[in-house]
Amino acid sequence: MDFFSAIFLGLVQGLAEFLPISSSGHLAFFQQFFGLMDVEAENLFFDVLLHLGTLVAVFVAYWGEIKAMVLEFFAMVGLRKLPRGQKPDRLSRRMIFFIIIGTLPLFVVLPIKDLVDGLYTNTIFIGCAFLLTGTLLFLSDRFNHGNKDLRSASIWDVLLVGLGQAIAVVPGLSRSGTTVAAGLTRGFSREFAVKFSFLLSIPAVLGANLLSLIDAIQEGINWSFMPMYLAGVISAMVFGYLAIRLLKFITQRGNFGGFAYYCWGAGLVTLILSLIK
């Protein structure tokens, strides 16, 4: 691995993680067809670092909300005393509860983790998943969009969004695209659908990468690659933050369907290259 590969893969991870175009699908695409690196076999530690880099981007973009939830969580479990006269932050508590509920479907996926990991080398499947992502995005723009927010969303709403996140663990199916589309079908406002999608990713990314980190440490870490690793992580952080800002801007303009055409194109290219490879 060289600096160019590390920075480029950080760029791909950062942009594709938050734009609804599937980071896992893009990383698998470049690895399978261009041989930039084999993350699963040789650089699992770098793969973990890239995901943690994009997680930092979420913390930067939503620091106010995340800080409020962390403080309120500590108050809920008795590790922090509220100042005299200060009432609990019920909206933060509601968001914490929603994130917990939305994360539960991921535990259903754990028993088939090895099966899901095996799909990263199946470019036919990845191409089809790209096409499905495009279809979800195209259809989501054609639903009557609601105005549900943190106050009016229900447990069933967030559970459905969490189910979408669980399904999107397969490569080629965008996590952000699936969760945003699920939120829109449940009547979420565009702004809340995007915000909840990003906040819901925090425990999912932390949990998945904790498991991967254990595997990476057991396989061994090539410390001579650390400068390249850091370059890739910084790239993922910067481009991840820019992707979040871009998606917020697109949310205000009210058009997610434009990404559908990109995903359809990526799916067709992946399938064609798979057939002639």
* pLDDT class of 43 with cuts at 50, 70, 90: low
What mean pLDDT is predicted for residues 129-150? 86
What mean pLDDT is predicted for residues 7-32? 86
Question: Does 2 have pLDDT greater than 80?
Answer: no
Helix/strand/coil (H/E/C) assignment for every residue in the chain: CCHHHHHHHHHHHHHHHHCCCCHHHHHHHHHHHHCCCCHHHHCHHHHHHHHHHHHHHHHHHCHHHHHHHHHHHHHHCCCCCCCCCCCCCHHHHHHHHHHHHHHCCHHHHHHHHHHHHHHHHCHHHHHHHHHHHHHHHHHHCCCCCCCECCCCCCHHHHHHHHHHHHHCCCCCCCHHHHHHHHHHHCCECHHHHHHHHHHHHHHHHHHHHHHHHHHHHHHCCCHHHHHHHHHHHHHHHHHHHHHHHHHHHHHHHCCCCHHHHHHHHHHHHHHHHHHHC
Structure confidence at residue 144 (pLDDT): 61
Residue with the two structure tokens 């950062």: 14
Structure confidence at residue 67 (pLDDT): 93
Question: Does 254 have pLDDT greater than 70?
Answer: no
Structure confidence at residue 242 (pLDDT): 95
Indicate the average pLDDT of the chain.
Answer: 86
* pLDDT class of 23 with cuts at 50, 70, 90: confident
DSSP lists the bridge partners of residue 148 as 188
Query: pTM of this prediction?
Result: 0.86
Question: Does 75 have pLDDT greater than 90?
Answer: no
Question: Does 39 have pLDDT greater than 50?
Answer: no
* pLDDT class of 36 with cuts at 50, 70, 90: low
* pLDDT class of 271 with cuts at 50, 70, 90: very high
Structure confidence at residue 162 (pLDDT): 96
What are the tens digits of pLDDT across the range 156-188?
A: 999 999 999 999 989 899 998 899 889 988 999
Structure confidence at residue 3 (pLDDT): 84
CA distance 34 to 30: 5
What mean pLDDT is predicted for residues 215-227? 75
Structure confidence at residue 41 (pLDDT): 44
CA distance 169 to 167: 6
Looking at 104-118, 125-139, 183-197, 261-275, which range is the least confident one? 104-118
